[in-house]
Amino acid sequence: MRRKLAAGNWKMNGTSAALSELDALAAKHPSPSVDVLICPPATLLHRAAERTQGTGVAVGGQDCHAAPSGAHTGDTSAEMLKDAGATAVILGHSERREDHGEQNEDVRAKANAVMEAGLQAIICVGESLEQREAANTLDIIGGQMSGSIPDRSTGENLIVAYEPIWAIGTGKVPTLDEIGEVHDFIRARLERRFGEGVGRSVRLLYGGSVKPSNAAEIFGVSNVDGALVGGASLKAADFSGIIDALESV
Ligand code: PGA
C-alpha cells in the first residue's frame, strides 16, 4: 500500500509571518492519516522544521545543487537542506526547467544527490500545451522520466509528480481521463524499468491547479497517490481542505 501524500510548494512566497500557517495546519491535522509536506522557500526551511517538529507536518526543499558542497555561490546542497530539517526535495519543477534552463541530466544529478543524502526526491514531469495539442504528451513524459529519474530509485526515495505546465497556476485542469492516462503510463514505465515491486511502490502525485473544490475527484483517479499543490498550499485553510479530501479517499 502506498501512503498518500499531500505536498505543498510555496515557491518564492512567504516571509516569517507565513510560519503561522504551519502552526494552523499542524493544529488542524494533529495526526493525519496521510503524509503532509510543505516546501517553503529556503530562507524559512530551518524555522519551519523547528516549528513543525513533533507534528504531522514535514518540510522539504524546492531545489538543490548536485554537489554536496563547494564553490557554487548562491546554491544549496541536499546535505544542507537535510541539515535544515528537510525530508524531501522537489526537483525539475517546470519553473526551474524554464527559469534556469534545467535539463533532464541536471535533474537526475540533483536527484542522485538528494537520494545520497537520504532524502526523498519529488521529480516533476509534465508537458506544455503545445506538446499536448500535438499529441506528444506521453512521449514527453517518457523522455523526462528516462532522463531525470536515477537508476538507484526506490519506493522510499522517489516520488514522481505529474504537472502539466499549462495547468500550473492557471485554474485549468486536465480531464480525469487525461490525468488517469498519464498516471497509468508513468506507473507502467516505472514497473518496466524498476520491476513490479519497486514500480508499484513509488508514489505518483498530480500537480496543477489542485484546490479543495477539485481535490476529491482528482484523488479518485487511478494511480493518483496525492497532490503537489502550489497556490492552494499557502493558506492552511485551503491546504487543509485538500488534506481532508485525501484522507477520505
Ligand atoms: P498550482 O502549482 O497548484 O499553483 O497550480 C502547482 C505546482 O507548481 O506545483
Predicted TM-score (pTM) of this structure: 0.98
Q: Cα of 50 to ligand 1 centre, how many Å?
A: 25
Name which CATH class applies to 5-247: alpha beta
Q: Cα of 156 to ligand 1 centre, how many Å?
A: 23
pLDDT in tens, the chain (249 residues): 899 999 999 999 999 999 999 999 999 999 999 999 999 999 999 999 999 999 999 999 999 999 999 999 999 999 999 999 999 999 999 999 999 999 999 999 999 999 999 999 999 999 999 999 999 999 999 999 999 999 999 999 999 999 999 999 999 999 999 999 999 999 999 999 999 999 999 999 999 999 999 999 999 999 999 999 999 999 999 999 999 999 999
Helix runs in the chain, H state only:
19-28, 42-52, 78-84, 94-99, 104-116, 129-133, 137-148, 176-194, 196-201, 212-219, 236-247
Q: Cα of 171 to ligand 1 centre, how many Å?
A: 9
From the candidates 93, 95, 127, 183, give the one annotated as an active-site residue.
93
93 carries an active-site annotation: yes
183 carries an active-site annotation: no
Q: What are the extents of the domains in the chain?
A: 5-247
